[in-house]
Amino acid sequence: MNQSSAEQRTSPARAADSMESAARERVIRLAGFDQDGIADGPGLRCVVFVQGCPHHCPGCQNPQTWAWEGGAETTPSELRDRIFSTVLDTGVTFSGGEPFEQADALADLAQMLRPRYDVASYSGYTFEGLLKLSEKRPGVMRLLRSIDILVDGPFVQARADRLLLFRGSGNQRILDVPASLAAGSAVWTKDPAWVGEDGSARVAGAAFE
C-alpha cells in the first residue's frame, strides 16, 4: 500500500475528527467492543475495534471493519465508562479497522484511561510511516504519545505465523512507544508479558513437543 492511495481512501471519521471543536467531544466510529479479551495483549483487556480501514490486507481477519460507513458512533467518555465497569481488565487495546484513522478521538480516550490501564494499539501503518503521517496529521502524534505499546505494520499473508504472540505475521513488531519516540526510531518492547520469557515474541518452545 503506498501512501497516496491510502490518502485517497482516508477516513471521513478522521476528517470529522480533526474538524471537531475542542469543546464538543469527538466521535469514535466503533466496529465492536470486547471485554475480558486474552488474545490482543497480556492480561485481561478491553478491545476497542474501530470501523474503517484503508489498508485492505489480503487475508484480513476482520474485512467487515474496512468500510468507512457501518459500525456505530460512540464517544471516548462512553467507552471509558464501559471500560471502567469491567473491574477485572487491566489493559486496553485499540484494534480495527485502522485506529490511527481516528487518532484524535482515540488519543482522547487513551488519555482518560492512563495510567490506570496500559494502552496498546494495532496499526497497519509502520512506526516510521506514522511518524511521517504525523507531519500532516497532528492527531497521529497525539495518539502515539498517549499509548504504551504499538503493534505495527500490515498483515502480510506470506509471513503469517500462528505461533507468534499477539501478532499475525512476522513483519509486525511489538514496540515500546515512549522509547521509540525518544529514540526517533522503532524500539522493540522488552516486556516479557508481550514478547515471552525468552524474548522471541513467539510461543515458547515448551508450548509444544
- Residues of this chain that bind another protein (CB under 8 A): 31-40, 42-45, 47, 49, 53, 60-62, 65, 86-88, 90, 93, 95-98, 122, 124, 151, 155, 161-168, 172, 193, 203, 206-209
C-alpha cell at 70: 457501518
**Residues 6+ positions from 21 with CB-CB distance below 8 Å:** none
Contact status, residue 96 vs residue 52, Cβ threshold 8 Å: yes
E strand segments, 38-182: 45-50, 72-74, 91-95, 118-122, 149-152, 173-176
Nearer to another protein, 107 or 201 (CB): 201
Nearer to another protein, 81 or 138 (CB): 81
Contact status, residue 47 vs residue 95, Cβ threshold 8 Å: yes
For the bound state, the minimum distance from the C-beta of residue 119 to another protein, rounded and expressed in Å, comes to 15
73 forms beta bridges with 29
C-alpha cell at 193: 508479558
For the bound state, the minimum distance from the C-beta of residue 127 to another protein, rounded and expressed in Å, comes to 14
Nearer to another protein, 29 or 45 (CB): 45
For the bound state, the minimum distance from the C-beta of residue 168 to another protein, rounded and expressed in Å, comes to 4
Nearer to another protein, 25 or 169 (CB): 169
For the bound state, the minimum distance from the C-beta of residue 37 to another protein, rounded and expressed in Å, comes to 6
